[in-house]
A and B are shown apart, each in its own frame.
Chain A
Amino acid sequence: MPDTAGNGNVTSAQELGRAAVSGRHFDHDDADVVVVVGSGAGGGTLANELCRQGIRTVVLEAGPHLTADDYSQDEWTAFNQMAWLDARTTSGSWRVARDFPNLPAWTVKAVGGSSTHWAGACPRFKEHEFRAKETYGGGIDGASLLDWPIGADDLGPYYDKGEIKMGVTHRHGRPPLPANNNYKVFANGAERVGYRQYATGPYATNAEPYDGRPATVQDGFNFQGDKQGSKWSTLVAELPKAAKTGKLDLRPDSHVVQITHDGRGHIDGVLYLDADGALQRQRAKAVCVAGNSIETARLLLLSSSPSHPDGLANSSGQVGRNYMRHLTASVYGRFPQPVHMYRGETMAGIIGDESGHDPDRGFAGGFYMEPLSLGVPFLAAFIDPGAWGPEFTAAMDAYDRTAGMWLVGEDMPQETNRVTLNSDVSDQHGLPAPNVHFDDHPNDLAMRDYAWAKGQAVYEAVGADSVTLTPPYPTTHNLGTCRMSERPQDGVVDKFGRAHDVPNLFVSDGSVFTTGAAANPTLTIVALAIRQAEYIGDQVRAGAL
């Protein structure tokens, strides 16, 4: 349980981040360890929960061990330091393929993964969102909807554990964050258009000290790693605790290139490149993959063998398919008076009134609206990619009078939206790069148009002079590609994230999402990881792993 003892007992983000690497080293030939690939929200949480059960765990993280003092509050410096920039390609009709052809996603390559980059929004899935096929009628053309093999009742206790672990505001006695400038515009607009479900959270950043971490100083750089350490991330919250158990061996700069199996098809280890580029083998009794949806699918595809020519755990042919990225769009409103949206927490707020399923709006599923601030460098790059001229400069001239919001909603899974290996392009290691193919579904387009109009209305209700409707950024919510299914032929993993085909292979990140729901995914990834760790612990104690 988090340390809730008092407010005086706070450790700096730098100390916590350093403590994520324990110094313990388990032998490469030790076949009794569990290997976790990736140290983000899924992998880092899973590792801590395994270590706490006494299970020796090796975490292989492809990226470097960055900590608070390394982080920069310059957006491009931080991006170039933290982002996953290995070779990737795109295809399909989505606008990202045109604007950012080699940057389909904005995820992190460092200890802590994208939990060091996320902002903190923590809505839960709604009950019906686990049953999207049933609820939406199942007959949406071109959508490969499927109901989750678990429901809100199964995940409820783990949502509680996740929220307590993460110190989510508005939950379990955690106080709300105060209103910052961007939220004041957002919430007043919400009130005036008749919305009621607005608040400054739930949001996984400390309004007051909690779990040994300090309160926010409203510095405005959540996306750049959070130098203060008031935001929950696996770097400052899960991994230092795991290290303290003596059961964690976290190896940064360790890029897994193949999961290996024996003649029975059971996993027996991984091959990875270490910091010097030398190929190493780590034996394991089980492997849990948490590389974020693109890299997780890529690793399973790369792990093909003569007995699994189409990739590991892929008898269904579903590995890499049903890639989802949430609706994503933004609205920036410009006002006659100052806003200074960049001061304070980046995304501390939510409007939930549009998050339900109401087919009368002309689409299935729902969306949230959340305040969002970008600094001048990123606003210039992302507000209208490719734009130039007086209209663009007029928008930038109004920077300090601008408020921003993000629109995040459920997108339809489609079999053809897919991560594959690009045989023509290699990364710096010589491995085939992933290609991300995505076409917006008509339901996605209808929801985006509707959401843009609603966002515009919120800002116009409080006097916006003009607004910009901003197209999707490179994806931060990468979901699907190894979806969870009741029947093996419909997906890649079962209700605990265990591969249908392989008894000691698990997927432990957002790849397992059967459908995307409207909610920001981190809380659900964490809840699933806590639940999976319990299951793995049971299996280990029963001698089944």
Chain B
Amino acid sequence: MATVTPTGVEIDQRTLTAMVRAMFPHANFPDGPYARTAAAIVDAAQNDVRMGAQLAQGMRLLDVAGGAPFAQLDAETAGAVLRGMSGTAFFEAVRSQTVLTLYNDPEVWSLLGYEGPSFEQGGYLHRGFADLDWLPDPRVEEES
């Protein structure tokens, strides 16, 4: 019986990375952003007893719920395992931290076509704030 000590929880980051990817599957994302997200979750758990305990317990179940280690499951089975856990404290801890971390990653911004901070480059005034060309230029004045 493993002892759960939240400040020293051992989490398999590869499994956690697989979980985060299965939760938020972007076909064109490399492993980097997902691995960084998993690392951030483990970091957060170091400072949060409840999260650490939930993570330690939840990861154990994750690795048996699909009949094989989670990282080895096909997408369909992995999705079913996750749906079975959705709404639980463990699942929510991972999901909410992932939303905060995965989409706050400059590599992800670039993959999704978001250019982010602009002020140092003079804003978007000369960098395409009005470059949409598949619709006519609309009226900007109020109706007279």
Contacts and interface: CB of A to CB of B under 8 A. Distances in A.
Question: For the complex, would chain B's binding face be called helix, strand, loop or mixed by DSSP majority?
Answer: loop
Interface stretch (B4-12, B45-53, B54-62, B97-105): B97-105
Nearest to B127: A343
Contacts of B128: 181, 340, 343
B26 A221 contact: no
Contact of B113 (A184, A191, A400): A400
Interface string A179-222: 11101110110110000111110000000000000001111110
A503 B82 CA distance: 61
Given A219-B119, A400-B112, A344 B138 contact: no
Contacts of B108: 376
A199 B26 contact: no
A388 B140 CA distance: 38
Contact of A220 (B28, B124, B134, B140): B124
Interface string A316-337: 0000000000000000000001
**Size bracket of the A interface:** 35 or more
A217 B116 contact: no
B130 A180 contact: yes
B119 A228 contact: yes
Interface string B120-132: 0011110111111
B74 interface: no
Contacts of B104: 74-76, 376-377
A390 interface: yes
B130 A388 contact: no
Interface stretch (A170-178, A240-248, A418-426): A170-178
B137 A218 contact: no
A199 B137 contact: no
A140 interface: no
B130 A396 contact: no
B95 to A, nearest CB: 5
B100 A179 contact: no
B112 A389 contact: no
Contact of A184 (B100, B114, B115, B137): B137
- Of B86, B115, B135, chain A has the most CB atoms within 10 Å of the CB of B135
Contacts of A188: 135-136, 138
A217 B137 contact: no
A462 B134 CA distance: 10
Nearest to A397: B26
Given A180-B129, A380-B99, A217 B119 contact: yes
A393 interface: yes
A348 to B, nearest CB: 9
B100 A342 contact: no
A396 B124 contact: no
Interface string A62-85: 000000000011111000000000
A392 interface: yes
Nearest to A376: B114
A197 B143 contact: yes
A176 B139 CA distance: 10
A72 B116 CA distance: 11
Contact of B117 (A73, A178, A181, A228): A73
Contacts of B136: 188
Contacts of B26: 393, 396-397
A506 interface: no
A227 interface: yes
A183 B135 CA distance: 11
A380 B114 CA distance: 12
A119 interface: no
Contacts of A386: 95
Given A188-B135, A198-B139, A381-B99, A178 B119 contact: no
B113 A199 contact: no
Contact of B123 (A176, A184, A190, A216): A216
Contacts of A397: 26, 28, 112
Nearest to B95: A388
A343 B129 contact: yes
B66 interface: no
A378 to B, nearest CB: 9
A73 B109 CA distance: 13
B25 interface: yes
A73 B114 CA distance: 13
Contacts of B88: none
Interface string A339-380: 110111000000000000000000000000000000111011
A142 interface: no
B21 to A, nearest CB: 10
Contact of A199 (B25, B86, B118, B141): B141
Contacts of A392: 24
A339 B113 CA distance: 10
A338 B131 CA distance: 9
Given A220-B123, A220-B124, A393-B26, A181 B131 contact: yes
Given A76-B100, A217-B124, A219-B118, 7 more contacts: A76-B104, A181-B130, A184-B137, A191-B139, A343-B129, A375-B116, A376-B103
11 contacts: A176-B140, A178-B130, A179-B140, A181-B130, A184-B138, A187-B138, A191-B138, A339-B132, A344-B130, A389-B24, A389-B79
Interface of B: 23-26, 28, 79, 82, 86, 95, 99-100, 102-104, 108-109, 112-119, 122-125, 127-132, 134-143
